[in-house]
Amino acid sequence: MISLFGYGQTMKALSKILAPCNIYDEKFKNKSKDEFGNNLLPIDCFDGTNSSLEIISPGIPPTFPLNKMAKNLISEYDYFYPNNALNIWISGTNGKTTTTQMTQSLLSEYGSVCGGNIGIPLCNLDKSAKIWILETSSFMLHYTNKANPKIYALLPITQDHISWHGNFENYINAKLKPLRLMGQDSYAIIPSEYKNMIKDFKGKIFFYSNIASLAEEFGIDEKKIKFKGAFLLDAIMALLIAKILTNKIDYSIINNFKIDSHKIEEFRDKNGRLFVDDSKATNIDATLKALEIYRDKEIFLILGGDNKGVSLEPLIDKLTSYNVKIFAIGKCCNEILQLARIYNIPCQDSNTLKNALDSIKNIFNDNQNSICLLSPACASLDQFTSYKHRGEEFKRYALL
């Protein structure tokens, strides 16, 4: 019988297709069954003897105790490989979601669908679609040893998910792993800093050092794209993926694309004060990109959550060049407070998002030169169900 490790969104969707199977999760305390006839089992029930195949949820870390007992542990990508669709995988630290969605907007008329780490789980994607565009996490790549894409687009890598991978080197290696699996007719777009780490790629590879070099390589005119900053790189990456497949550059489609909520999303309250929901910023690099947009403003910055094992010191160091006051929330509150004292940055121990906003609204008097920015540089699960939940609560409290 097939075993599934984990019972999150991905494995729940997969279990409906594979039922009946055995599902092991740390949250199961007693044996039971779900509506599809799957066995829901505590992890101490697994000994490997009644398991022909183990498919692991990508969110489960390598230290999960059942991994060592599994005889044939694979990822969801490997389970569905090969498939009839042309696979495009998009990864990196920031911008994966936006680049995936932008690429889908450019290729939808050619029969593409998108999913993976966002939206539709892999098992529910249209099997008759000509193109699969998959937002691909480092977690999924860690467990994938067979599946590979036709096109692999890697956005810049910065420190993230260190507690999951163990160290930054392992995180980088996971991001570069598809290159070892891809065939001669494949394409890869990779940051140039990793050029010396790539020894055995068989296809055609394009290296880039910045946005300008990437645009120039593919004949893309930056001036014809409405997006700026980090979103400009996402747009250029999507355009060049589409150009590889179609030999076309469609500026009108890319410029009509609408950015998702919770990504540098601006709104004003009844007093005209500017609030910015950047809850999607779950790492240092994403927060620095948001800060740069508002460099000339007084910034009330809501920072904190689960830092995923990454020190926030590089971010706090950079904040010395901004007119900023920090309102620390969540699991790493104490770390933020200690670093703020070291770097002499004003910082308040708010603990919760509501406390932070209550304090900010009491001092937020200048609606022209000040902003309240939620750009936490941390994951949300210590206090919220998701970054979306965090962003929704931010807007609700801001508009009270």
pLDDT for the residue 229: 77
Distance of alpha carbon 146 from alpha carbon 32, whole angstroms: 33
Domain 78-255 = CATH 3.40.1190.10: yes
Nearest to 303 by CA among 316, 321, 322, 320: 316
pLDDT for the residue 8: 86
pLDDT for the residue 160: 87
Q: Express each pLDDT in 21-43 by its tens digit.
A: 999 999 999 999 999 999 999 99
Give whole-number Cα distances, 6 to 27, 32, 144, 284, 378, in Å: 9, 15, 16, 28, 23
Tracing tokens 């792993």 back to the chain, one arrives at 177
Q: Express each pLDDT in 202-212 by its tens digit.
A: 999 999 998 88
pLDDT for the residue 200: 84
pLDDT for the residue 9: 85
Q: How many CB atoms lie within 10 A of CB 185?
A: 9
Nearest to 389 by CA among 261, 258, 231: 261
Q: How many CB atoms lie within 10 A of CB 51?
A: 21
The yes-or-no verdict on residue 117 having pLDDT over 90 is: no
Give whole-number Cα distances, 330 to 137, 299, 319, 357, 364, in Å: 24, 19, 19, 14, 22
pLDDT for the residue 119: 76
The yes-or-no verdict on residue 217 having pLDDT over 90 is: no
pLDDT for the residue 355: 97
Weakest-pLDDT range from 137-141, 211-215, 350-354: 211-215
Domain boundaries, the chain: 2-74, 78-255, 265-398
SS3 call for 187? strand
Helix, strand, coil percentages (3-state) for the chain, rounded to 5, are 35, 20, 40
Strands 265-268 and 274-277: antiparallel
pLDDT for the residue 126: 93
Q: Which residues contact 96 (CB under 8 A, 6 or more apart)?
A: 90, 117, 118, 135, 136, 137, 155
pLDDT for the residue 230: 79
Instruction: Classify domain 265-398 by CATH number.
Output: 3.90.190.20
107, two tokens:
């290729």
Nearest to 177 by CA among 161, 200, 155: 200
Q: Are 387 and 280 in contact (CB under 8 A)?
A: yes
Read off the pLDDT of each residue in 275-293 and give the average, rounded to a whole number.
93
Give whole-number Cα distances, 389 to 144, 317, 380, 381, 395, in Å: 30, 29, 8, 10, 10
Read off the pLDDT of each residue in 369-380 and give the average, rounded to a whole number.
96
Portion of the chain with pLDDT greater than 70, in percent: 100
Q: List alpha helices for the chain, DSSP H.
A: 9-18, 76-79, 96-107, 138-143, 162-165, 168-176, 178-181, 211-217, 230-246, 251-255, 284-293, 313-318, 333-342, 353-363, 387-398
Portion of the chain with pLDDT greater than 90, in percent: 87
Sheet holding 131-135: strands in order across? 112-116, 131-135, 86-91, 151-154, 187-191, 204-208
pLDDT for the residue 96: 92
Backbone φ and ψ of 264, nearest 5°: 45, 50
Q: Are 353 and 362 in contact (CB under 8 A)?
A: no
The yes-or-no verdict on residue 368 having pLDDT over 90 is: no
Architecture of domain 2-74 in CATH? 3-Layer(aba) Sandwich (3.40)
In sequence order, what are the beta bridge partners of 113? Answer: 132
pLDDT for the residue 244: 96
Give whole-number Cα distances, 53 to 38, 141, 179, 360, in Å: 15, 18, 25, 53
Q: Express each pLDDT in 162-171 by its tens digit.
A: 989 999 999 9
For the whole model, what pTM was predicted?
A: 0.81
Distance of alpha carbon 153 from alpha carbon 375, whole angstroms: 26
Q: What is the mean pLDDT of the chain?
A: 94
pLDDT for the residue 159: 84
Read off the pLDDT of each residue in 48-70 and give the average, rounded to a whole number.
93
- The vertex-141 CA angle with 88 and 130, nearest 5°, equals 20
Q: How confident is the model at residue 118 (pLDDT cuts 50, 70, 90)?
A: confident
Tracing tokens 């094992």 back to the chain, one arrives at 309
Tracing tokens 């900023």 back to the chain, one arrives at 324
